[in-house]
Amino acid sequence: MMKLLRLGLLILSVFSIQVATAAPQDKDAIERGTILVENRCSFCHKKTSLRELTQHSISRKGTEHLYKFFKRHHAPDEQACSDIISYLTSIIDEQ
């Protein structure tokens, strides 16, 4: 059962990497998102867990779900939501 779960997560991760890397990355947005995550998120969430959560969320529900989530969860405005998502999608393929 665990092997199937791990295989499923691997497949979802590969799919989410393809989805996330298909769009061009805005370096300024990534930089702003990095600062926002460091100031608002990193005291509760480590980079590894954020990467895994982002992969899982994008692969299952797409980035629109992330926008809705961040509007309710510590992102002050639309720009911050977008910048945080830019940062998170930029770290998906890091190990």
pLDDT in tens, 54-89: 998 888 888 888 888 888 887 879 999 999 999 999
Q: Is the pLDDT assigned to residue 37 strictly greater than 90?
A: yes
If you average pLDDT over residues 37-59, what whole number do you get? Answer: 90
| SS3 call for 95 | coil
Q: Which amino acid type is present at position 57?
A: S
Q: Which amino acid type is present at position 54?
A: T
Instruction: Provide the b/e sequence for 38-55 (b: ≥16 CB within 10 Å).
Output: eebbeeeeeeeebbeebb
Q: Is the pLDDT assigned to residue 19 strictly greater than 70?
A: no
Which domain, by its residues, includes 14? 2-90
In a domain, 79, yes or no: yes
In a domain, 95, yes or no: no
Provide the whole-model pTM: 0.69
Q: Of 58, 91, 50, whose CA–CA distance to 74 is shortest? A: 50
Query: How many domains are there within the chain?
Result: 1
In a domain, 56, yes or no: yes
Identify the band that residue 31 occupies on the pLDDT scale cut at 50, 70 and 90.
very high
CA atoms within 13 A on the CB side of 27: 0
In a domain, 41, yes or no: yes
Tokens of 75: 């992102």
Percent of the chain exceeding pLDDT 90 equals 32
